[in-house]
Amino acid sequence: MSTIRFNALEELNNRPVPEVVFPSEKISDYFASDVFDLPKMQKYLSKEAYTNVINSIETGVKINRKTADQIASGMKEWATGKGATHYTHWFHPLTGNTAEKHDAFISIDQNGNSFETFDGELLVQQEPDASSFPHGGLRNTFEARGYTAWDPTSPAFIVDKTLCIPTIFVSYTGEALDYKTPLLKSLNILDTAATDVCKYFDKSVSKVIATLGWEQEYFLVDEALFKARPDLVLTGRTLMGHASAKDQQLSDHYFSSIPERVLAYMKEFEIEAHKLGIPIKTRHNEVAPNQFECAPIFEEANLANDHNQLLMKIMRKVAKKHRFKVLFHEKPFAGINGSGKHNNWSLATDTGVNLLKPGNTPKSNLLFLTFLVNIITAVKKHSDLLRATIMSAGNQHRLGANEAPPAIISVFLGSKLDDMLNKIEQKVPEKKKSQDISQNLKLDIAKIPEILLDNTDRNRTSPFAFTGNRFEFRAVGSNENNAGPLLALNTALADQLIQFKKEVDALINEGIKKDDAVLRILRKYIKESKNVRFEGNGYSDDWVKEAKKRGLTNIREAGKAFEAFISKRTIDLYERNNVLNSKELHSRYEIRICEYVQKIQIEARILGDLAINHIIPTAIKYQNTLITSVKELKEIIEDESDLEALASRRIGTIKKISHHTTQISLMTQEMIEERKKANIIENCIDRIEKYELKVKPYLDKIRYHIDKLELIVDDEIWPLPKYRELLFNR
């Protein structure tokens, strides 16, 4: 074993499991202790300020300066009381990470005395220099200023003695430079549209929120081994490595008992998460070795997404203490499962109803069907956009890779619900008297809760599956900011509900009874959206053929998939609903593309470096050993045929090594040439095709030969930790 690998494994074996100290016996004792949540606001704010914040959270009304001052002062008192020295606006720029710039609470008066300050202005708005954040052509350098503005719907929290205030991030000219701004807009419009539709069934509904429960998958790799893999360090995934003799084929990792060192890590990040009010509930081993998952109790979608971003940060931080590296890359290891971030998504009313949970009466089930069918229709109409929101250099390895949802967007309902929709579609003859129609259907509709109870089959191969009381968007990548896919879903559904209401109202105006009008339009939608529904195996080749017949798109190329961000359909959708304008969409399109191109570029560079400076020299070293040994054989064995018999296999190996090293060297050169050709092109949008179709294929081609060499070369000198070491040491 090479010294690098030996040392890494040595270090790992001598590593004690860090002790985890629980702040208290019960989680509820310390849950949200680092959050300026409603109970704390009540304690630290005047009655008036508190009422104003609640009002702002519930109705979106702006907070005035006087109230802001009061809130700031209460927040400061609470935060400094807990030892905070700094504050920061905390936002989600389009880098995919969160951003923060810390300022101390400190001020100095005329006499040189220092004191702690924080006022409403600092709470409500900051002006970070935005020039170094991705903007996709939105900002000129002379207007590099960006604004962050407080989002009172997500409470402030303390991390590392810094008070973090969740904010949106917009340009000087008002365009969104982040994920949160359009997400909040999409949630607002969905609220209005969904509330209007709910009122057909229940006049007392006055607010609808989207709920999100994410499941976060991740890998853990020991830090020492990680550091010995430059590809992991720079790209988050292994660009080479032969499959381990054993990986996930025995299915012995999923749900098995959690290794001690991993469990200590989980406990510790969960403590941190709980203190921050992130309601982590579930932890388990995932399918692949060293792959794990955690999931919270679902929350309002914007808050849930903030919590997911915050948790990812905490997980990275706590991993350091436990000498792990947490990998959020969607496909860190070839040949075994990658990681996703399933988005469980539903809608809830302020009257306490989950709109995707069937009720006990025909009326509540008609409400359920209304939302179900409108969602299916929205997904059908905007499937290309949904795919674009989850496409990335990392997630591209998963989509359609036979272990994760395909690049074809379809909806799974479960056979019974699927049948039910078919019945509705067929059972209502157009000409039948309206009264009969609803009577007929109500009989069936009343049965929904019953049929759902025993409809527990889960289709793991569907990108968008109904799971009893919510939809699960399973195609989202583990490293993705959920806001992207969510805001697309919210906006598509809001738009669809507005359309639905228009059509139903038109029928009502013609004198048709409300329930009948609703059913008639639903029936029309069921027909129109039918071919996005798929109950079969999403991984099968037959589905690819079938989907093609149905006219569903199957876009696996990233450059093509991203085009949906700026299609007329998408621009119309977002502009019509005031969520994003064409300029903002073009900027997002460009940012996603540039990110893709840069990631492939980095992968290509580091692979070239490893191939030429690590792998080839190692292979040649081993080859030379073999050559020397053949020469030495010649010296001691005189008989030609004896020599032939003894040396031929070694000579064969020498030739194999020659073949692979030559291929690696040639291909690396070709890959560099392709990069050069691509780099002449100024703009990422025009460059992506070259990077995706000309440069990227070399990553796999070169890897093939390196992985072959790994099987040939003496283990003692192989420089990089192998898959079996990376995946089975913890």
Q: Which residues of this protein are in contact with ligand ADP, per CB under 6 A?
A: 211-213, 215, 282, 295-298, 344-346, 354, 469-470
Q: How far is the CB of 342 from ligand ADP (least distance, A)?
A: 6
Question: Residue 58 and residue 191: Cα distance in Å, rounded?
Answer: 11
Q: Which is nearer to Mg ion, 147 or 298 (by Cβ)?
A: 298
Q: How far is the CB of 469 from ligand ADP (least distance, A)?
A: 5
Q: How far is the CB of 420 from ligand ADP (least distance, A)?
A: 20
Q: How far is the CB of 347 from ligand ADP (least distance, A)?
A: 8
**What are the beta bridge partners of residue 340?**
477
282 binds, among ligand ADP, Mg ion, none (CB under 5 to 8 A by kind): ligand ADP
Q: How far is the CB of 341 from ligand ADP (least distance, A)?
A: 11
Q: Reduce the DSSP state of residue 460 to 3 states and report it.
A: coil
Q: Which is nearer to ligand ADP, 348 or 580 (by Cβ)?
A: 348
Q: How far is the CB of 253 from ligand ADP (least distance, A)?
A: 15
Q: Which is nearer to ligand ADP, 157 or 298 (by Cβ)?
A: 298
Q: Which is nearer to ligand ADP, 372 or 706 (by Cβ)?
A: 372
Q: How far is the CB of 323 from ligand ADP (least distance, A)?
A: 27
Question: Residue 550 and residue 538: Cα distance in Å, rounded?
Answer: 14
Q: How far is the CB of 248 from ligand ADP (least distance, A)?
A: 17
C-alpha 363: how far from chain center: 36
Q: What is the DSSP letter of 335?
A: T
Q: Which is nearer to ligand ADP, 466 or 589 (by Cβ)?
A: 466
Interface region with Mg ion, contact rule CB under 5 A, candidates 101-109, 316-324, 337-345, 609-617: 337-345
Question: Residue 312 and residue 450: Cα distance in Å, rounded?
Answer: 39
Going through 130-184 in order, the beta strands assigned E by DSSP cover 146-150, 157-159, 162-171
Q: Reduce the DSSP state of residue 87 to 3 states and report it.
A: strand
Q: Which is nearer to ligand ADP, 171 or 302 (by Cβ)?
A: 302
The interface with Mg ion within residues 200-229 (CB under 5 A) comprises: none
Task: Name the residue with tokens 């009720």.
Answer: 359
Which long-range contacts does 622-627 make (Cβ < 8 Å, 24+ apart)? 622/657, 622/712, 622/713, 622/714, 622/717, 623/654, 623/657, 623/658, 623/661, 625/714, 626/650, 626/653, 626/654, 626/657, 627/654
- Dihedral of alpha carbons 708, 709, 715, 719, sign: negative
443 binds, among ligand ADP, Mg ion, none (CB under 5 to 8 A by kind): none
Phi, psi (rounded to 5 degrees) for 582? -60, -40
Tokens (6 digits) for 445: 């509709």
Number of helices and strands (H, E) in the chain? 27, 18
Q: Which is nearer to Mg ion, 5 or 341 (by Cβ)?
A: 341
The answer to whether the CB of 208 falls within 8 A of the CB of 355 is yes
Tokens (6 digits) for 28: 């509820």
The greatest distance separating any two alpha carbons of the chain, rounded to the nearest whole angstrom, comes to 107
# chain residues binding Mg ion, by CB under 5 A:
1
201 binds, among Mg ion, ligand ADP, none (CB under 5 to 8 A by kind): none
Q: Which is nearer to ligand ADP, 458 or 513 (by Cβ)?
A: 458
Q: Which is nearer to Mg ion, 478 or 618 (by Cβ)?
A: 478
C-alpha 604: how far from chain center: 24
In this chain, which residue has its C-beta nearest to ligand ADP?
213
51 binds, among Mg ion, ligand ADP, none (CB under 5 to 8 A by kind): none
The answer to whether the CB of 54 falls within 8 A of the CB of 152 is no
The interface with Mg ion within residues 116-145 (CB under 5 A) comprises: none
Tokens (6 digits) for 715: 């283990």
Binding to Mg ion by CB under 5 A, coded x per residue (else -) over 338-357, reads: ----x---------------
Q: H helices of 383-482, where?
A: 383-390, 415-427, 434-445, 448-453
Answer yes or no whether residue 660 interacts with Mg ion by CB under 5 A: no
Q: How far is the CB of 286 from Mg ion (least distance, A)?
A: 12
Q: Which is nearer to ligand ADP, 117 or 469 (by Cβ)?
A: 469
Q: How far is the CB of 213 from Mg ion (least distance, A)?
A: 8
- Residue from 513, 509, 701, 683 nearest 137 by CA: 683
Q: How far is the CB of 485 from ligand ADP (least distance, A)?
A: 14
Question: Residue 165 and residue 124: Cα distance in Å, rounded?
Answer: 9
474 binds, among ligand ADP, Mg ion, none (CB under 5 to 8 A by kind): none
The interface with Mg ion within residues 435-474 (CB under 5 A) comprises: none
Q: Which is nearer to ligand ADP, 236 or 296 (by Cβ)?
A: 296
669 binds, among ligand ADP, Mg ion, none (CB under 5 to 8 A by kind): none
Task: Name the residue with tokens 């399933």.
Answer: 342
Q: Which is nearer to ligand ADP, 215 or 584 (by Cβ)?
A: 215
Q: How far is the CB of 354 from ligand ADP (least distance, A)?
A: 5
295 binds, among ligand ADP, Mg ion, none (CB under 5 to 8 A by kind): ligand ADP
Please state whether beta strands 86-91 and 162-171 pair in parallel, antiparallel, or not at all (unpaired): parallel
Interface ranges with Mg ion (CB under 5 A): 342
